């Protein structure tokens, strides 16, 4: 039976800026990446990665990226489907977009629901205004 994962996505360093995104289990981390891009208003012009352990910049076993060829033979592709990852409610996932500016998003699987056939991925809720991608006010910017 098809399922939909509902993710809470909190923009690290920006209190109160979060999104709730629903993604069908047959879609990939790449699709989740595109949903996050759209939800936070970012251009898709930088590398990105996910860590299934919920911590940023940890082991390769938890690390998925695209294009994975940039990281050698041990890199794991973000083209993996969500249903292959063993995600359960409460699971934390770390996401980094733009390895230079390092936009960090803490993801948490809020719910796993039976798929209702609605479009996916989809933004369910947006709280707080995300700063512009190339903002001089970025937390940690020089």
Residues 21/124, Cβ–Cβ less than 8 Å: yes
Q: Is the dihedral of CA 71, 82, 14, 19 positive or negative?
A: positive
8 Å CB contact between 133 and 43: yes
100-123 core/surface letters (b: 16 or more CB in 10 A; e: else): ebbbbbbbebbebeeeeeeebbee
pLDDT tens digits for range 109-136: 999 999 999 999 999 999 999 888 876 6
74-114: pLDDT as tens digits: 568 888 999 999 999 999 999 998 888 889 999 999 999 99
Identify any residues that bridge with 48 across adjacent strands, giving them in sequence order.
Answer: 66, 97
Supply 73's token pair. Answer: 């033979």
Whether 116 contacts 15, CB under 8 Å = no
Distance CA 79, CA 73 (A): 15
Which residue ranges form the domains of the chain, and what is each CATH number? 3-127 (3.10.290.30)
Report the 10 Å Cβ neighbour count for 137: 8
pLDDT of the residue at 67:
62
Q: φ, ψ for residue 32 (rounded to 5)?
A: -65, -40
């Amino acid at each position: 039976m098809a399922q939909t994962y509902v993710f809470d996505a909190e923009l690290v360093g920006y209190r109160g800026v979060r999104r709730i995104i629903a993604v069908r289990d047959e879609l990939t981390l790449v699709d989740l990446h595109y949903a996050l891009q759209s939800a936070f208003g970012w251009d898709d012009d930088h590398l990105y990665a996910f860590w299934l352990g919920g911590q940023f910049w940890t082991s390769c076993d938890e690390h998925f990226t695209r294009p994975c060829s940039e990281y050698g033979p041990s890199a794991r592709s973000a083209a993996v489907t969500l249903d292959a990852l063993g995600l359960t409610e409460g699971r934390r996932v770390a996401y980094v977009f733009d390895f230079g500016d390092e936009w960090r998003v803490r993801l948490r699987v809020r719910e796993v629901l039976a798929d209702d056939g609605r479009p996916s991925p989809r933004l369910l809720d947006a709280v707080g205004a995300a700063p512009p991608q190339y903002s001089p006010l970025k937390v940690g910017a020089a």
